[in-house]
Amino acid sequence: MRLRAGRMIAFVLATAWLVIVIAPLYYMILASFRTQGTYLTANPWVPSGGLSARSYSTVFHAGLGRYLVNSVLLTAACIVLTVTLSLAAAFRIVRRTSRAVGVAFVTMLFGLAIPVQAIIVPIYVLIYKMHLYDTLLALILTLSAAAIPVSVLIMVSFVRDIPREMIGAMLVDGGSEWTVFRRLVWPLSRPVLATLAIYNGLNVWNNFLLPLVLTQSGSVAVLPLGLTKLEGLYSINVPAVMAGVLLSVLPLLILFVLMRRQVMNSLGGLVAR
C-alpha cells in the first residue's frame, strides 16, 4: 500500500516535470507558425486563428542558411580533428615508452579543470595576433583545443581496457605498432569514437562564447550567435525568432530521433563512468 502511494507520487511529479519540459517547446512551435499580427492577438496556447509558415522563409532570407552551413562546417571539422587526434594520442599514451608522453598526458588532464571563460581574453588576443579573427578557422582551432582534455581522457581509458594479450599476440606474429593500431585499436574503438563525436559535436554546435568573442561578421556567424543577430534584426517579429531557434535545433533533433539510444548513452555515460 505504501509502495503504491509512493509510485503514484513519483508518477505525478515526473509528469509535472514532463509538462515543464514540453510546455515551452510547444509554445515555441506554435509561436513560430503565427504571423506578426496573429502572434499579438491569438491565444499563445491554442493552435487556432491563422497559422502560417511565413516565418520560416523570413529567417532564411535573413541569412539563417548561411549560419546553418557555418555550424555544420565548424562541427564537422571539430569532430574529425578531436576524434582522430585523441585516438592517436591515446594509443601512444597507453603504449608509451618515454616519460615525456606521461607528462603531456597529465598536462592535458589538468586542462579538464580550466574553464574557457577564464582564458577567453588571451585567446582573443592570440587569435587577433595570428590574423585569424573573424574566421571559422579560429573557432575550429579553439573549440577543438578546448575539447582535447576530455577526449583524450575518454580515449585513454578505453584503449587501456583492450586486453594486452591481444596486442602481444599481434606483435609476436610480426605486426608493427602501426598494424596493431590499424587492425585492432581502430576497429575496436569505433563505438567510443561515435560517443565522443556526439558529445563533442553537441558542445561545439551549441557553443556561444567563443563565436561571440572571436567572430563578428554575419558571413562567419554560427547558429547560436546568428540567432541573437536575428533577434536584433527582428526584435518585434517573435515568430521569426522562434522559427530560427527551431530550425537551428532541427538537425540535432533528426540525429536524436535516428540514434536515440546512442545519444543518451554517450551523454550520460561519458561522465558517469
Ranges within 167-196 binding other proteins (CB under 8 A): 167-168, 171, 177
Instruction: Name the residue with cell 535516428.
Output: 258
Shortest reach from residue 5's CB to other proteins, in Å: 10
Residue 121 to residue 255: CA distance in whole angstroms: 34
Ranges within 243-272 binding other proteins (CB under 8 A): 244-245, 248-249, 252-253, 256, 260, 263-265, 267-269, 271-272
Interface with other proteins, residue 20, by CB under 8 A: yes
Residues 24/235, Cβ–Cβ less than 8 Å? no
Concatenated DSSP letters of 180-231 = IIIIIIHHHTHHHHHHHHHHHHHHHHH--HHHHHH--SGGG--HHHHHHHHH
Ranges within 147-166 binding other proteins (CB under 8 A): 148-149, 152, 156-157, 159-160, 162, 164
Shortest reach from residue 40's CB to other proteins, in Å: 6
Is the Cβ of residue 51 or residue 249 nearer to other proteins in the bound state? 249
Ranges within 41-60 binding other proteins (CB under 8 A): 43-45
Q: What is the grid cell recorded at 79?
A: 569532430
Shortest reach from residue 235's CB to other proteins, in Å: 10
* Binds other proteins by CB under 8 A, chosen from 73, 76, 194, 202: 202
Shortest reach from residue 152's CB to other proteins, in Å: 6
Shortest reach from residue 90's CB to other proteins, in Å: 8
Contact pattern for other proteins over residues 89 through 128, marking x by CB under 8 A: x-xxxxxxxxxxxx-xxxxxx-x-xxxxxxxxxxxxxx--
Residue 18 to residue 57: CA distance in whole angstroms: 31
For residue 247, the tally of other CB atoms under 10 A from its CB is 20
